[in-house]
Amino acid sequence: PNEKMKQVLKKTIEEAKAIISKKQVEAGVCVTMEMVKDALDQLRGAVMIVYPMGLPPYDPIRMEFENKEDLSGTQAGLNIIKEAEAQLWWAAKELRRTKKLSDYVGKNEKTKIIAKIQQRLEENDDDAYLNSPWAD
């Protein structure tokens, strides 16, 4: 793209990054899926302005917009945890999907927690750990 179109893309990228930035959380703004979708829509619109004929079907940006990007065999693909295989941990406890968050942290609305998401261990992995010398 020419210089003017590059500026359109750069400006839109900066605006989208600002919408989903960690600074939003620090400012007390809850980042919602609606905000993420709006940021993606802004990016999609900027790409349509810069490339009015559209991107080729194999382009990674187009594939991401259409949610068809294949990350298998890439480093980024290793960081994806499927929802069914995910566990959420806080204070050395697994947060179960069947319980409410208030069951773990109480009912104070101002409580702030930092949780960790990780891939669920296979049952065989649990047994291997329990039978290992590191188990308590």
- Candidates 115, 128, 119; CA nearest to 89 is 115
Rounded CA separation 96/89 (Å) = 9
> Over its length of 136 residues, how does the chain's per-residue pLDDT go in tens digits?
789 999 999 999 999 999 888 888 788 888 888 988 999 999 999 999 998 888 888 888 888 888 777 767 676 666 777 778 888 888 888 888 888 888 888 888 788 888 888 888 765 555 544 544 444 4
Q: What would you measure as the largest C-alpha separation in the chain, in angstroms?
A: 63
Rounded CA separation 84/95 (Å) = 14
Q: Which pLDDT value is given to residue 132?
A: 43
Question: pTM of the prediction?
Answer: 0.56
C-alpha distances in angstroms, 36 versus 20, 32, 127? Answer: 7, 7, 40
- Residue pLDDT, tens place only, 39-49: 999 999 999 99
